[in-house]
């Protein structure tokens, strides 16, 4: 029996040692060079070193390596390197928390857009619901609204834990209310209507007395956790860093829950129903998928993630106003989903990290270095002023050369390359499909792989 040997693409050998070596080198460079890249033109290396280290976490997820090595990389990165950098420079903590918050938002929108195929341009409205829910009750604004001196500082800060599930429910309810009148629409019409409804929420926040209008709400509290403050003190954190240390750990827990829920939904009956609706509504309905209920569930699920992260965002920022929830924020979150890889959890997470790193570290650092190096430089040449232009160019290039995203799902990648010619040989076909077998046989001949044998053959 003649066989054809194949070299499956994307199925590299064991990379345990390269993974550990890369992680160790990037972590050491980030830690020991932090002083040398703190000032002057060398600051341009900060985002390079930080981004290179974050890639180690992506490689730990993507590469084929021993389970203990992957666990070690994640544990060392999340439990030691990032907290150490945050203790040394609070801006790292702030950046990582912001990355995780936007990653959760992107994962929520991925359910609506990536799985169900419903283009929602007003998604940030659900984020605003969660943020204002805690912002009003967890700040002196509540005392102002009620006129009760007992609430001059807001409600009891221990109720912070109660407001996270309340924000989930409130955002899900708003998602259903927004979804009910618009889900009969499709494509561009759905996008325009959701954009309008999202702006309605922002306008309410800008004009209602409860939200303090355009002046916003400040002095927003966070939950007191004495034992965690004691732990932070023993680890060398200063008192003004306790809040960020607590929020860093809390956001890690929440993002882990969000990823787990996304993973389970993607492989559930509901997830398959969303994908069926995205591919062909008529065919899905013919197969018994209830369109309205399934679409509303997508809206409510995606909105619930945004509501929970809104509470954490308000607690981290200590201040919120309507400008934080405008139309461009919705576009930014949608860009994260498209850039990373629509429909793929890891890709969406990667897109959120890349966009946040570009907006909050790369461009601001470049602007500061240029201003210090060239004090008389025209202010119109400040790169931070062209943030949207630069990111727009990045998206254009992505759509031209990699429309499926940085880390696409297998289904999305197949859709975007449907017009490419089919492989010329059985070996190439198996290689493209990621067949890990050592031998490939012609059609019509039974294989001798152990897993392919029938019960009697075994």
Q: What is the pLDDT of residues 199-251, one digit of tens each?
A: 888 999 999 889 988 999 998 998 989 999 999 999 999 998 999 999 999 99
Total domains in the fold of the chain:
2
DSSP H helical ranges for 180-325: 187-207, 226-234, 242-266, 269-279, 281-286, 291-317
Does 218 fall in a domain?
A: yes
Please tell me whether residues 100 and 123 are part of one structural domain.
yes
| CA–CA gap between residue 207 and residue 348 (Å, rounded) | 34
Given this model, what pLDDT does residue 414 score?
A: 67
Which residue, among 431, 427, 435, 405, has the nearest Cα to 417 in the 3D structure? 405
Highest mean pLDDT of the ranges 4-8, 192-196, 408-412: 192-196
Which residue, among 133, 125, 88, 81, has the nearest Cα to 105 in the 3D structure? 125
Given this model, what pLDDT does residue 32 score?
A: 93
User: Residue 130 pLDDT > 60, yes or no?
Assistant: yes
Please tell me whether residues 131 and 239 are part of one structural domain.
yes
Which structural domain, as residue segments, surrounds residue 104?
Answer: 91-372+380-415
pLDDT-derived band at 182, boundaries 50, 70, 90:
confident
Range from 4-8, 53-57, 91-95 carrying the lowest mean pLDDT: 4-8
Given this model, what pLDDT does residue 425 score?
A: 46
Whether residue 86 contacts residue 235, with contact meaning beta carbons closer than 8 Å, is answered with no
- Which residue would you say has higher pLDDT here, 281 or 441? 281
Which residue, among 381, 348, 349, has the nearest Cα to 363 in the 3D structure? 381
User: Residue 417 pLDDT > 80, yes or no?
Assistant: no
CA atoms 329, 331, 337, 341: torsion sign? negative
User: Please, what is the average pLDDT of the chain?
Assistant: 84
The contacts of residue 363 (CB under 8 Å, 6+ apart) are 383, 384, 387, 390
Span 305-326, average pLDDT: 92
Please tell me whether residues 249 and 177 are part of one structural domain.
yes
Domain boundary among 88, 104, 120: 88
Please tell me whether residues 212 and 340 are part of one structural domain.
yes
Own/partner contacts of 418-422, CB < 8 Å, gap of 24 or more, are none
Please tell me whether residues 110 and 20 are part of one structural domain.
no
Whether residue 307 contacts residue 126, with contact meaning beta carbons closer than 8 Å, is answered with yes
CA atoms 436, 438, 443, 444: torsion sign? negative
Q: Encoding tokens for residue 313? A: 């965002």
- Of all residues in the chain, the percent with pLDDT exceeding 70 is 87
């Amino acid at each position: 029996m003649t066989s054809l040997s194949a070299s499956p693409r994307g199925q590299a050998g064991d990379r345990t040692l390269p993974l550990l070596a890369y992680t160790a080198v990037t972590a050491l460079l980030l830690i020991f060079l932090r002083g040398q890249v703190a000032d002057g033109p060398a600051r341009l290396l900060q985002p390079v070193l930080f981004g290179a280290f974050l890639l180690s976490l992506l490689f730990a997820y993507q590469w084929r390596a021993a389970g203990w090595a992957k666990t070690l990389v994640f544990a060392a990165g999340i439990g030691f390197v990032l907290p150490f950098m945050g203790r040394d420079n609070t801006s790292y903590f702030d950046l990582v928390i912001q990355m995780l918050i936007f990653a959760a938002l992107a994962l929520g929108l991925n359910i609506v857009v990536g799985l169900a195929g419903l283009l929602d341009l007003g998604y940030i409205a659900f984020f605003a619901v969660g943020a204002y829910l805690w912002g009003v009750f967890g700040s002196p604004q509540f005392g102002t609204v009620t006129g009760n001196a007992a609430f001059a500082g807001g409600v009891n800060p221990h109720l912070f834990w109660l407001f996270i599930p309340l924000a989930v429910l409130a955002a899900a309810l708003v998602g259903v209310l927004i979804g009910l009148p618009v889900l009969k629409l499709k494509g561009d019409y759905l996008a325009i209507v959701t954009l309008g409804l999202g702006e309605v929420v922002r306008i309410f926040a800008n004009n209602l007395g409860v939200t303090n209008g355009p002046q916003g709400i400040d002095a927003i509290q966070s939950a007191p956790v004495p034992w965690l403050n004691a732990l932070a003190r023993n680890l060398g954190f200063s008192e003004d860093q306790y809040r960020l240390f607590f929020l860093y750990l809390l956001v890690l827990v929440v993002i882990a829950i969000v990823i787990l829920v996304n993973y389970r939904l993607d492989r559930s009956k509901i997830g398959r129903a969303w994908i069926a609706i995205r591919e062909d509504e008529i065919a899905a309905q013919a197969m018994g998928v209830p369109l309205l209920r399934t679409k509303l569930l997508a809206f409510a699920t995606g909105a619930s993630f945004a509501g929970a992260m809104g509470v954490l965002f308000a607690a981290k920022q200590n201040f919120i106003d309507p400008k934080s929830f405008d139309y461009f924020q919705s576009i930014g979150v949608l860009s994260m989903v498209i850039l990373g890889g629509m429909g793929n959890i890891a890709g969406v997470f990667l897109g959120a990290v890349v966009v946040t790193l570009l907006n909050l570290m790369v461009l601001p650092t470049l602007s500061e270095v240029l201003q210090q190096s060239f004090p008389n430089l025209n202010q119109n040449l400040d790169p931070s002023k062209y943030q949207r232009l630069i990111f727009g160019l990045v998206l254009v290039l992505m759509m031209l050369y990699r429309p499926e995203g940085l880390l696409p799902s297998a289904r999305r990648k197949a859709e975007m390359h449907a017009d490419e010619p089919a492989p010329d040989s059985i070996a190439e076909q198996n290689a493209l499909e990621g067949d890990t077998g050592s031998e490939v046989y012609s059609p019509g001949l039974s294989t001798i792989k152990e897993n392919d044998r029938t019960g009697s053959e075994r």
